[in-house]
Amino acid sequence: MSIIHRATLVPSKLDAIAAWIPTQDWSAGRDITNLEAVGAYRFDDPAGVVGVETHLVRSASGTVFQVPLTYRNAPLNGAEAYFVATMEHSVLGTRWVYDGVGDPLYVAVTTAAIVDGAEQAELVVHSPDGSRTVRESTTRVRGTGRHSSATPRLHVRRVIDSTATELPHLFGTWPGQEDPIPLVELRN
C-alpha cells in the first residue's frame, strides 16, 4: 500500500519532469513539447520511507515517455548523476527526487515485481483531516513472474512503443493504451 498525502508540491511532478527530460540523452531528437501526464504507477518501499513512482507522459506528437522517480527525505549518496529536482511537499517537507534507474531501491522493487509477477501498489490517500481513501489507479502494471538470471539487469524503456519482448518484463495499460505493453525488462 502506497501512502499518498493530499499536499501541494513545488514544483509539480510534471513541471520537474518537463524540466529534466531535455537534459537526458534518450530524449535527443524527439519531440518533448507540451508534455501531459498519461498515467503513473507506484511500488512500495518495504521500509515505508521512499516514494517509488513511475510517470508516463506524452508529448504533443504523441510520443509516450516513461520516467521512474524516487522521492527521498535526504540526498542519496553517490546518486548525483541521477538527481532530478528538489520539491517542497506541504506535508513531508523537502523531497530529493531521483531518476529511479540510479536508485537501488527502485531497481530492487521493480525487479521483485517482475520476478514475483506482482502488480502496482494500492494507493491510499491521507487527507489533512485524518481520513483515508483508496484511489483507483488508472495505470495497471504486472510482472511476468519469471526470470532468466541470478543477476539480471533492469532496462527501463524510456520511449514507449509496442515492441514485444520474450524477456521477463513489467507490462502495463493506461487510458488510451488498453493492450498490455512492455515497460521494463530484465536482461542477462
> What digits encode the pLDDT tens for the residues 100-128?
999 999 999 999 999 999 999 877 776 77
Give the span between the Cα atoms of 175 and 107, in whole angstroms: 26
User: So what's the pLDDT on residue 132?
Assistant: 74
Mean pLDDT for each 10-residue chunk of the chain (188 residues)?
A: 68 96 95 95 92 96 97 97 95 93 96 94 74 80 84 92 91 94 93
| DSSP reduced 3-state for 99 | strand
> Do 70 and 52 touch, CB atoms closer than 8 A?
yes
Residue 62 dihedral angles phi and psi, to the nearest 5°: 100, 0
| DSSP reduced 3-state for 179 | strand
User: So what's the pLDDT on residue 148?
Assistant: 67
User: So what's the pLDDT on residue 3?
Assistant: 66
pTM: 0.91
Give the span between the Cα atoms of 83 and 103, in whole angstroms: 10
